[in-house]
Amino acid sequence: MKATIRDVAKLAGVSVATVSRVMNQKGYVNSETEQKVNKAMKQLKFEPNQMARGLAGKRTKTIALILPDISNPFFPGLARGVEDIAQYNGYTVILCNSDDMGVKERSYIEVLKKKYIDGIIFATNNLVREDLERMEEAQIPFVMLDRAPNMESGCVIKVDNFGGAKAAVEHMLDVGCKKIAHVYGPQELTTAKDRLAGYEEVAKQQPWYTPTLMIPGNFTIDGGVKAVEALLGKHPDVDGIFAGNDLMAVGVLKGLKHRGISVPGQVAVCGFDGVNLTEITEPELSTIAQPIYQIGELAANKLIERINLSSTHYETVELGVSLIVRESTQKS
Amino acid sequence: MKATIRDVAKLAGVSVATVSRVMNQKGYVNSETEQKVNKAMKQLKFEPNQMARGLAGKRTKTIALILPDISNPFFPGLARGVEDIAQYNGYTVILCNSDDMGVKERSYIEVLKKKYIDGIIFATNNLVREDLERMEEAQIPFVMLDRAPNMESGCVIKVDNFGGAKAAVEHMLDVGCKKIAHVYGPQELTTAKDRLAGYEEVAKQQPWYTPTLMIPGNFTIDGGVKAVEALLGKHPDVDGIFAGNDLMAVGVLKGLKHRGISVPGQVAVCGFDGVNLTEITEPELSTIAQPIYQIGELAANKLIERINLSSTHYETVELGVSLIVRESTQKS
DNA sequence: AACTTATGTGTAACCGGTTACCAAAAAGAA
DNA sequence: TTCTTTTTGGTAACCGGTTACACATAAGTT
């Protein structure tokens, strides 16, 4: 039925080793022989069995992307970046949703190990040091997104959350806000923590600064809605809200709308992430955009680089973010 | 390093065949022997190498999901449904973005074949009959989404696009619309075609019906925006627009906003699909919701069923859609 | 001419499972 | 007691590649 390397060898009148050498461009092969082999491969429509290759050579040309939830609007773009680069380099990507649960992540790692995956990209935050160490032992290259760099190996890709948050608050001051609140995400996440820190850095310099202007929002739309309630109770006079991510910013918009407060007229709103949905809200949301797609690309590129070089040295890359000004902060 | 089946056999004092039998619960094994083997497996932390299993047994416990673009808001939910079911059944899913290009899809199929994937879910529409036939020959089970059923094998999952479109138009008539336009998607897609047909079915009965009320919109936000321009030129008096999908509905909303036309006051708008972003527009969008997540689940379940039964008979399942009424059609 | 070194190709073991086939012991039937 | 039939378990081939090692020639050095 399907041609094997031995069929090709027989047809070309050479040994399997030679065929293998031709396929993989490895070792010495006389160019005439090579022609013969190539012709035989064409003729038999030979397709090397990846399974067999994997077994013998320990390479599967498959990587995995573990993320919390592909339904979260932040991740499709990232996944797309990863997939495009993977595809370009002949890799295939396995998608894993962990719902941000450590157990699920660990169980995925086990499965992936058994499948001899070549490497893993973690867009999650629940693995403890120990888990990562086990990855190293198992010699599985990996890259992490938005992690605190407390390892001696592995690659971490992050964006300038601190700087981005500062830029957001400064921008809001620029457009004339006199009292800016911050709705922050889960503090176990470095991203959320850094953004909060960025807010505080700038806010602390302001006369209106007070800790109760910082409200938890859980990184969800609903969290944003609730945060507005909580906030307006204590500070009916806020005129700017910086949300720790776009989802919460959308929630904030909803909450304000519900209260009959106009945006940006009475309150300016700024998000963080730059997901597509910031363009379809009314008003459109100003936001600190992360280069989401590029992060995916970079992660995949770094991973593939590590796979090829079987290098494991610690490395961290920080990408910049950019302020995108839209209607939600046009106070003038 | 890693324990193999032979290590286990040696430790348990049995043969590899017995170990394999225990692992796979196949053939006769004395329960005492089984205990011994299980103990040995525990002790050595034996993890069967999936690669080897695949090579020998032709099963990889991996399925693929080929879709146009995971960044399109319709697909993350679908992918999530697929992944959840796959995961539950011990399968792993490979994600492939085809950008709706036949070439890419075909090239993916080739790659996936080489990787001995167990089955494929197509959420795309560019494969010709010939391609599908080749899949059958290769004995790869597959299920398709929203395809015209012109095959004698394969599983097709679809939703009631025709009925949904009718329901949308009827709903708009109910709320008092006197002239309803339709922005339709690419007619190569059965989904778009069926929705257009559904619109026509109801609209034709109305005194205001005229073909120029049907405008192409390309299934994109921008297409929706442009469609509004085109439409308002010819029919400044429309008071209802039914968009063939939510993305275009969002575009329509944007276009109307730009023209200073109020929704739903002057014009009611209804979308189709039920993607999340319909909840964050202003006003929130009424839409015909597809059970997106469930479609993914069903597709995965059907595929796995086919893999297990190696059945190939033609089958088509149609799911219902539901009208979700939100602000954009509350004319009263 | 004698000795290296580079080039070209084949043999066979190996990766780690699955399974067809065979043999022996235990249980049941005649 | 003897002859099936059912259990139980081992041997070894096989899946389809990769690659260490051996061997033969050609080319380059002294």
Proximity of residue B18 CB to strand D below 7 A? yes
Task: Kindly indicate the confidence band of residue B220, based on its pLDDT and cuts at 50, 70 and 90.
Answer: very high
Residue B246 has pLDDT above 70, yes or no: yes
What per-residue confidence (pLDDT) applies to A332? 65
Looking at every residue in chain B, the average pLDDT score rounds to 92
Residue A221 has pLDDT above 90, yes or no: yes
What per-residue confidence (pLDDT) applies to B332? 65
- Same CATH topology for B62-160+292-321 and B161-289+323-329? yes
Name the nucleotide nearest A58; use CA and C1': C15
Q: How far is the CA of A30 from the C1' of C14 (A)?
A: 26
Of the two residues B114 and B320, the one the predictor is more confident about is B320
Chain Cα centroid distance, residue B139: 22
What is B161-289+323-329's CATH number, 3.40.50.2300, 3.40.50.1100, 3.40.50.1260, 3.10.20.740?
3.40.50.2300
Among A73, A92, A277, select the one facing B94 at the smallest CB separation. Answer: A92
Task: Kindly indicate the confidence band of residue B149, based on its pLDDT and cuts at 50, 70 and 90.
Answer: low
All residues of chain A having their beta carbon less than 8 Å from the beta carbon of residue B254 are 280
SS (H, E, C) chain B: CCCCHHHHHHHHCCCHHHHHHHHHCCCCCCHHHHHHHHHHHHHHCCCCCHHHHHHHHCCCCEEEEEECCCCCCCHHHHHHHHHHHHHHCCCEEEEEECCCCHHHHHHHHHHHHHCCCCEEEECCCCCCHHHHHHHHHCCCCEEEECCCCCCCECEEEEECHHHHHHHHHHHHHHCCCCCEEEEECCCCCHHHHHHHHHHHHHHCCCCCCCHHHEEECCCCHHHHHHHHHHHHHHCCCCCEEEECCHHHHHHHHHHHHHHCCCCCCCCEEEEEECCHHHHCCCCCCEEEECCHHHHHHHHHHHHHHHHHHCCCECEEEEECCEEECCHHHCCC
For residue A260, the distance in angstroms to the closest alpha carbon of chain B comes to 13
Residue B111 has pLDDT above 80, yes or no: yes
Reply yes or no on domain A161-290+323-329 having CATH 3.40.50.970: no
Reply yes or no on domain A62-159+292-320 having CATH 3.40.50.150: no
Residue A206 has pLDDT above 90, yes or no: yes
Q: Report CB contact under 8 Å: A80, B60.
A: no
Mind listing the pLDDT tens digit for each residue in A34-90? 998 999 999 898 888 888 988 887 788 999 999 999 999 999 999 999 999 999 999
Q: Which residue of A has its CA nearest to B115?
A: A50
All residues of chain B having their beta carbon less than 8 Å from the beta carbon of residue A111 are 92
Query: How is domain B62-160+292-321 classified at the CATH fold level?
Result: Rossmann fold (3.40.50)
Chain A residues 32-91, Cβ below 7 A from strand D:
46-49, 51-53, 55-57
Looking at strand D, which nucleotides approach a protein CB closer than 7 A? 7-21
Angstrom distance (rounded) from CA A183 to CA A245: 9
Residue A258 has pLDDT above 80, yes or no: yes
Mind listing the pLDDT tens digit for each residue in B297-319? 999 999 999 988 877 788 999 99
Q: What is the mean pLDDT of residues A88-101?
A: 94
Residue B1 has pLDDT above 70, yes or no: no
Residue B137 has pLDDT above 80, yes or no: no
Among B54, B69, B76, select the one facing A70 at the smallest CB separation. Answer: B76
Residue A303 has pLDDT above 80, yes or no: yes
User: Domain limits of chain B?
Assistant: 5-48, 62-160+292-321, 161-289+323-329
Looking at strand C, which nucleotides approach a protein CB closer than 7 A? 7-21
